[in-house]
Amino acid sequence: MAKRARRKPAKTSRPKTTRKLKATAKRKPAAKRKPVRAKAKASSKRKATSRKSAPKRAADPMKTAIDVVRKVEAAWERNDLDALDQYFAPGFRSEAEVPMLPPGLEGAKIAHQATMQAFPDRRTKVLDVFSDGAKVCVRVKMTGTNKGGVFWYGAEPNDAKIDVTSISVYEVKNGKITGHYALNDGQSMLEQLGVWTMPPMPDPT
């Protein structure tokens, strides 16, 4: 008798539904990603809010006082007298006022105009500035040529060159100058103008 051939069992294909389930299981749900982005946006908003709400630094009184004095000295240098009014308090007084002139800034402007008439090429340079916040000390060098005569020293026009220094102390309050004191090297100017000569030193022997 002939042997019967064994039939191989037919391959059973998996249902398509299981494949779809596996594919969906591998993918990460989109809903989990949204909270991360939301947190990033929230943190960026917090940073922006913290930057806006940061308090402004108060102005340094020492730096402010020095800045005011430098602007005043620059205005004197360029002969811009109208620019000075904004830097001086209404009750400004100076201990270096010139006799026979009005007090305060008005008299200082008249004295400056007289200096400009005597030395038309007058130039100034700030050498040193010191401040404690309430007062500012400034050392200024002035050069020029005696073209118009220095009447307050009795010097006629003689083209004499001058190179002198002065020290001023300004009192500053709330960004305005309230007081002033100055010391000028008048002896050096007298010598350079030829008006006065220092007498010879006595012989110590």
Q: In what order do the strands lie in the sheet with 88-94?
A: 88-94, 176-184, 161-173, 135-145, 123-131
* Higher pLDDT, residue 181 or 31: 181
* Higher pLDDT, residue 203 or 147: 147
Mean predicted lDDT score pLDDT of the chain: 84
Return the pLDDT at 95. 95
43 is a domain residue: no
Which of 40-54, 56-70, 115-129 is predicted least confidently? 40-54
pTM listed for this prediction: 0.71
45 is a domain residue: no
CA distance 151 to 119: 12
Residue 171 has pLDDT above 70, yes or no: yes
Extended strands (E) in 83-175:
88-94, 123-131, 135-145, 161-173
For the chain, how many structural domains are there in total?
Answer: 1
Percentage of the chain exceeding pLDDT 70 = 73
86 is a domain residue: yes
Supply the range of the domain harboring residue 151. 61-193
Mean pLDDT along residues 129-139: 96
46 is a domain residue: no
Helix H or strand E encompassing 133: none
71 is a domain residue: yes
At 128, which CATH number? 3.10.450.50
